[in-house]
Amino acid sequence: MKTVGESIHTLKENAEALVDATREIGLEVSADKTKYMVMSRDQNAGRSHSERIDNSTLESVEEFKYLGATLTNQNSIAEEIKSGMRSGNACYHSVQNLLSSRLLSKNLKIKIYRTIILRVVLYGCETWSLTLREERKLRVFENMVLRRIFGPRRDEVMGEWRRFHNEELNDLYSSPNIVRVIKSRRMRWAGHVARMGEERGCIGSWWGNRRERDHWET
């Protein structure tokens, strides 16, 4: 369970309310397992704070996992992308024998990639904001998998076997590349958020203050 606040003071109030609510039903919040994190682009934010709840000091952390996503104190998605690629790489190595097998068709291998490996890599990608450097890393990972699927190619001029070039892989792989998939999912998620009611927390974080939104719209 997590509690969120716009300031450390609000977060402390929410945590104390959680402690009181759990006591009413006979439960107890473990201070040893409770962590807090200040999310800010200021690297020194939260370092001077030492929060205490119910006479117990809470540990401050720089990152933690929530619902499978890695959250950092600087609200950076770089670590989240690295984590997704590590998980995807482990998944790739677990099925690489299938991707190299001559008993399976290329179309079936691509389905294995899209339904098993790609879903692991792109978990939570709807909130990613990619830089060109991160896009290149994702394309390199995808091309590695595609080279395993399509295998080597015999050069008609030199008569030697070689790897497929990136442009050749783009022609062979008819589905949208990994970066286009991420952008498509981000747009679809943005549409879901835009259709939410005003009482939902997501719409508030997306549009910001209602007065500011109305001013921007006019």
Tens of pLDDT, residue by residue over 123-145, are 988 888 888 999 999 999 999 99
CA distance 132 to 149: 26
Q: For residue 104, what pLDDT band results from cuts at 50, 70 and 90?
A: very high
CA distance 149 to 175: 14
Give the per-residue pLDDT at 218: 35
Do 156 and 178 fall within a single domain? yes
Do 83 and 184 fall within a single domain? yes
- The pTM assigned to this predicted structure is 0.69
Which domain covers residue 62, as residue numbers?
8-72
Give the per-residue pLDDT at 215: 42
In total, how many domains does the chain have?
Answer: 2
Does the residue 201 lie in any domain? Answer: no
More confident of the two residues 17 and 84: 84
Q: How many CA atoms lie within 13 A of 148 on its CB side?
A: 20
Does the residue 3 lie in any domain? Answer: no
C-beta separation of 97 from 149 below 8 A: no
Do 147 and 188 fall within a single domain? yes
Does residue 116 have a pLDDT over 50? yes
% of the chain with per-residue pLDDT over 70:
76
Name the region of 55 (left: φ>0; alpha: ψ -120 to 50; beta: rest): left
Does the residue 49 lie in any domain? Answer: yes
Q: For residue 213, what pLDDT band results from cuts at 50, 70 and 90?
A: very low
Do 106 and 178 fall within a single domain? yes
Name the region of 88 (left: φ>0; alpha: ψ -120 to 50; beta: rest): alpha
Find tokens 């000091």 and name the residue: 57
Do 156 and 189 fall within a single domain? yes
Does residue 205 have a pLDDT over 50? yes
Do 86 and 162 fall within a single domain? yes
The Cα-based distances of 90 to 45, 65, 118, 163, 174 in angstroms read 35, 19, 12, 22, 25
Torsion sign over Cα 67, 68, 73, 77? negative
Position 106, amino acid: K
Give the per-residue pLDDT at 210: 46
Does the residue 138 lie in any domain? Answer: yes
Extract the runs of DSSP E, i.e. beta strands, from 9-152.
35-36, 52-53, 56-57, 59-60, 63-66, 69-72
Do 183 and 102 fall within a single domain? yes
Does the residue 95 lie in any domain? Answer: yes
Find tokens 């024998």 and name the residue: 97
Does residue 214 have a pLDDT over 50? no
